[in-house]
Amino acid sequence: MTDPRPPTTDEIKRYAAAHHIDLSEEEIEEMMAVISELLGAYERLEELSPSKPQVKYPNRHAGDEPSTDDDPLNAFIRTCDVSGADSGLLAGYDVGLKDNISLANIEMTFGSDVVPEYVPSIDATIVTRLLDAGASITGKLNMENLAFSGSGEMSAFGPVKNPHDTDHLAGGSSSGSAAAVVTEDVDVAIGGDQAGSIRIPAAWCGCVGHKPTHGLVPYTGILGLGRSFDHTGPLARSVADCARVLEAVAGKDPLDPRQGAVRTQSYTDMTDNDPTPDDLTIGVLEQGFGHEESEPDVDNTVRDALDAFAESGAEVTDVSIPMHLDGPPIWNGIANEGTTATIAGEGIGHFGNGYYDTDLMEAFAEARRKNANEYPPTVKLVATFGEYLAEEYHSHYYAKAQNLSRDLAAAYDEALGDVDVLAMPTTPQTPHERIENPSNLQIIERAVNMLPNTSPFDVTGHPAISVPAGTSDGLPVGVMFVGQHFEDATVLQAGHSFEQCVE
């Protein structure tokens, strides 16, 4: 980055007009003189070198883009080899990372060709914590283009196929994370979740996916969509392995502006001690079934699995939360303008004490100005619609949706005062069938029609886990358990007990 230069007269007019300011010629001259003096401070800023996160394990090998024979589901962007500590909670575990998570000196693609050839210079905080726990990072995993889809078909590197039926999709946006776990190409994976993007592919691929309480796991070094609804967390073949990963990565990070007060628990205790189901009260959410998008057999499979859980000793009761049906509109109100603001904030945004990855900001800023036509249809729609809402309605709907998310959270909290967890289908349908060359309208519709149960808990921040509950026509079905804020151990306990009792 070069030293800043004084703006021209035309630039001052243009940037003032962006804020609806009509400057007089005299005001422009005055402003040019003041700005020229102010730029001295910015020249000094450019001379200074702020501290940045240390790369603790610098020995790493970038690996290759695997062949179709080696990676038939298209789960990987590239292999890599980064070894951590000699011992620890995750010693012997191979971990894959969704490719929006910074791994120093290894190219990061975001599943997109919008930001070409970007190589991070830092490790995300969770990467350091995984390596500290003895894990090895062995792959950067395919994902939906810039993370804005739940289908699994939008990556610039091609769709991720479902491991149970390659004529169907893996789900997204953490598509490769779920597929690589199920095929045992990695032991565990890290995904991201803004509307269900850990839980959707977990449900569709038949593995476990845990969205932690908002802020429990640091987001430093990860490209997101909106600070109030970004989450990162584990996918694995068992709840116990999700608990091990959470134990390793959860906790306060001074570099993460998303985090407030963080309360951690011993997550592995809840799975190592084999809790019995009769310790649990499960509230089956009435409004989690029978959506317009719901397949009857998915609803029935989840209900049958919960009946079997009850027969094993869990107390299962019906719960009604009518406002759950308003969760998707509330999510839309927040996510559309929130994502638009993140794009305008060069992929990082403003307003928070923490670490700002200037390399990522510069790469994203340059790329979005040059390559915005390469955005996927979902991002083009959101950026356009979000800007329209912000400009024409002064972000009224964003602000109202944020306020309503507090009421929605309170409605869930009231119900969770009487039960340990809420239960419902993770997605209303089984995986989408792959189609060749889908139209833009098909892509947009298929990107979001699985969100009615997952997206509400991204804007309220409650922890939620998807666990396999059976199959429908040979395709996986997931059940989702949701708990109180920072009661992730209880959510893991419910998932583990369910997993042990219901085959």
- CATH label of the domain that carries residue 382: 3.90.1300.10
Are 311 and 372 in a shared domain?
Answer: yes
The predicted model gives 339-364 an average pLDDT of 94
Please, how many CA atoms are within 13 Å of residue 75, restricted to the half-sphere of its CB?
A: 28
What local confidence, expressed as pLDDT, does residue 458 receive?
Answer: 98
At 142-178, the pLDDT tens digits run 999 999 999 999 999 999 999 999 999 999 999 999 9
What local confidence, expressed as pLDDT, does residue 97 receive?
Answer: 99
Are 108 and 213 in a shared domain?
Answer: yes
Are 21 and 136 in a shared domain?
Answer: no
Are 91 and 131 in a shared domain?
Answer: yes
Set 149, 173, 177, 405: catalytic member: 173
Q: Chain-centre distance of CA 1, in angstroms?
A: 30
Res. 352 pLDDT band, cuts 50 70 90: confident
Set 98, 140, 161, 211: catalytic member: 98
Set 102, 151, 155, 197: catalytic member: 197
Q: Is residue 117 domain-resident?
A: yes
CB-based contact 95:188 (threshold 8 Å): yes
- Alpha helix (H) residue ranges in 69-218: 125-132, 175-182, 199-205
- Residue 462 CB contacts under 8 Å (≥ 6 apart), including other chains: 213, 409, 412, 482, 483, 484, 485
Cα gap 45→358, rounded to integer Å: 13
Q: Is residue 55 domain-resident?
A: no
Residue 423's nearest CA partner among 310, 301, 325, 282 is 282
At 205-233, the pLDDT tens digits run 999 999 999 999 999 999 999 999 999 99
Are 269 and 405 in a shared domain?
Answer: yes
CB-based contact 240:275 (threshold 8 Å): no
Cα gap 35→7, rounded to integer Å: 8
Residue 240's nearest CA partner among 64, 501, 497, 503 is 497
User: For residue 436, is pLDDT > 80?
Assistant: yes
Q: Is residue 52 domain-resident?
A: no
Are 16 and 98 in a shared domain?
Answer: no
Q: Is residue 324 domain-resident?
A: yes
Are 160 and 30 in a shared domain?
Answer: no
Are 91 and 112 in a shared domain?
Answer: yes
pTM as predicted:
0.96
What kind and span of H or E run contains 88? none
Are 42 and 170 in a shared domain?
Answer: no
Cα gap 163→175, rounded to integer Å: 11
- Residue 489 CB contacts under 8 Å (≥ 6 apart), including other chains: 265, 266, 267, 269, 270
* Domains contained in the chain, number: 2
What local confidence, expressed as pLDDT, does residue 351 receive?
Answer: 82
- Whether 173 sits among the annotated catalytic residues: the reply is yes
Q: Is residue 53 domain-resident?
A: no
Cα gap 460→353, rounded to integer Å: 22
Dihedral class, residue 63 (left if φ above 0, else alpha if ψ from -120 to 50, else beta): left
User: For residue 4, is pLDDT > 90?
Assistant: no
Q: Is residue 497 domain-resident?
A: yes
Distances 81 to 57, 105, 340 between C-alpha atoms, Å: 11, 11, 35
Q: Is residue 2 domain-resident?
A: no
Are 194 and 309 in a shared domain?
Answer: yes
What local confidence, expressed as pLDDT, does residue 266 receive?
Answer: 96
Structural domain span for residue 39 = 9-47
Are 278 and 370 in a shared domain?
Answer: yes
Q: Is residue 4 domain-resident?
A: no
Cα gap 412→211, rounded to integer Å: 16
At 42-63, the pLDDT tens digits run 999 999 999 999 999 999 999 9
User: For residue 271, is pLDDT > 90?
Assistant: no
Cα gap 226→230, rounded to integer Å: 6
Are 159 and 27 in a shared domain?
Answer: no
